[in-house]
Amino acid sequence: MAANGKAKKIVIVGGSFGGVNAAYALRRALGARAEITVVSREPTFTFFPALPLVILGWREPNRVQVALDKPLSRRRIRLVHGEATALDASASEVITAHGRFGYDFLIIASGAELDYAAVPGLGPAGGNTHSTFSLDEAVGARDALARALSAERGRIVIGAAPGASCIGPAYEIPLMVDALLRKRRRRHRFNLRFLTPEPFLGHFGIGGVGKFPRLIADEFAERDIEVTTSARIVEAQAGRLVLADGTQAPFDFSLVIPAFQGGPFVRSVDGLANPRGFVPVTSELKSARLDNVYAVGVAVAIAPVGPTPVPVGVPKTGHLTEQMACAAAHNIACDIKGGPKVDGLTLPGICIMDGGNTGYYFSAEPFLPPRNRVVHKKGKWSRQLKLLFEKYYLARIRYDLPSLHFGW
Ligand SMILES: Cc1cc2nc3c(=O)[nH]c(=O)nc-3n(C[C@H](O)[C@H](O)[C@H](O)COP(=O)(O)OP(=O)(O)OC[C@H]3O[C@@H](n4cnc5c(N)ncnc54)[C@H](O)[C@@H]3O)c2cc1C
């Protein structure tokens, strides 16, 4: 098809939840009518939701990644392992160290950069806190946590920086540490503290979901995890976090989720991204600025649901990202073949939080308020469901198994 010039060139920047799902959905929707290229900084897909398990030492690091080359080449999707350094929008070309890649359609699925620099001393690279946004970070956190937990006593402080938008893992880790210490009958020797920019527990950057905030607040109280909400962490010194109100949180181990910001690639075209580096889109997920450019997942700009005393970002979860990827692929197929487009912004969301010895499930439809339907439950079954989902998802990326969400 490419030889007779009919196949459309589609380039996707990013090879994670957004990029891989978009590539698979495009191949299904367009078959030989598309020449698909994924430009990915990473040669592997990482199942991020399993990184808290790695940190607790409950999952081998080599079990949470899938090398992208074979699964993509089986679907005749070209993988360019490298960084997209800039976008030449007037020539419709993505610029990389391996050359320029022309496109008829571009999908930006490049997530975000981690803004450790916003808080002096934050982050594992030369800073004083750990993090969980790559396998290396998780392994570093695992080793440091194991050392801290082997001491006679200790203070574990988990938190999120102002503006953070992926706070879920920061909830899971103290709950998991609590479960581990209780199992070892050493919980009484450790102080667990949770610092969050959210105005209340269970806000998650989406204004909370039904009565879930009460459920999760009861759970933290039950487990004696000390909570500070509307926490504005301003500095991470060696062994203590400093808050804007002058209070301090001393620690023997600390992990803090940073805020996100867009990288140089999305900033290389004037007006493509907002000042934080996120891409404003229409309901079709098309760039508000460029007609043949779509964006999905973390890269998309979504305004906060309302003001909060300390900024909290809207999470673009893995589940939302996958749905956006399928919606963008569908809408590009409609650009090419015709047909009715779908709304890629008003989507339902499902979250499952692993509490170490139980789990917490909620679904919200749509994800952002006001909503038509919410469900929330606690139970060991939901933890098992998340563990099963991990196996399914890694197999899904390996073999392009059908998506569990029904729609496009
Ligand atoms: C510890 C942790 C736990 C989580 N748990 C859950 C959960 O339980 N449930 C859930 O739904 N979600 C969860 N999430 C969120 C989920 O992982 C994200 O929503 C998802 O990863 C977003 O996918 P994305 O493709 O938009 O961005 P990303 O996953 O950030 O991927 C972007 C990719 O693009 C690459 N890239 C960036 N810039 C360039 C460039 N210029 N050139 C080439 N490549 C580039 C990056 O290296 C990266 O591989 C979790 C996240 C973390 C970190």
Mutate to test the pocket of ligand 1, among 11, 12, 13, 17 (most ligand atoms within 8 A of CB): 17
Indicate whether 356 pLDDT > 90.
Answer: yes
> Does residue 393 lie in a domain region?
no
Tens of pLDDT, residues 64-77: 999 999 999 999 99
User: What does the mean pLDDT of the chain come to?
Assistant: 96
Is residue 247 located within the same domain as residue 268? no
- The residue annotated as part of the active site, out of 29, 80, 166, 256, is 166
Our count of domains for the chain comes to 2
- Nearest-CA residue for atom 3 of ligand 1: 49
Calculate how far, in angstroms, residue 17's C-alpha sits from the geometric centre of ligand 1. 6
Calculate how far, in angstroms, residue 298's C-alpha sits from the geometric centre of ligand 1. 7
Which domain-ending residue is among 285, 320, 342? 342
Indicate whether 19 pLDDT > 90.
Answer: yes
Tens of pLDDT, residues 128-161: 999 999 999 999 999 999 999 999 999 999 999 9
> Does residue 372 lie in a domain region?
no
Q: How confident is the model at residue 402 (pLDDT cuts 50, 70, 90)?
A: confident
Is residue 124 located within the same domain as residue 26? no
Is residue 102 located within the same domain as residue 164? no
Q: How confident is the model at residue 5 (pLDDT cuts 50, 70, 90)?
A: low
Is residue 97 located within the same domain as residue 127? no
How high is the pLDDT of residue 403?
75
Mutate to test the pocket of ligand 1, among 41, 98, 116 (most ligand atoms within 8 A of CB): 41
Which domain-ending residue is among 218, 236, 259? 259
CATH number for the domain harbouring residue 250: 3.50.50.60
264 Cα nearest atom in ligand 1: 41
Instruction: Name the residue range of residue 19's domain.
Output: 8-114+261-342
> Does residue 350 lie in a domain region?
no
Which pTM value belongs to this model? 0.97
> Does residue 161 lie in a domain region?
yes
Is residue 30 located within the same domain as residue 79? yes
> Does residue 315 lie in a domain region?
yes
> Does residue 32 lie in a domain region?
yes
Would you tell me how many other CB atoms lie within 10 Å of the CB of residue 153?
10
pLDDT cut 90: percent of the chain above it: 96
Is residue 202 located within the same domain as residue 255? yes
CATH number for the domain harbouring residue 279: 3.50.50.100
Calculate how far, in angstroms, residue 5's C-alpha sits from the geometric centre of ligand 1. 34
How high is the pLDDT of residue 2?
44
Pocket of ligand 1 (CB under 6 A): 13-19, 39-42, 48-49, 51-52, 83-84, 109-111, 132-133, 166, 168-169, 263, 265, 297-299, 316-319, 321, 351
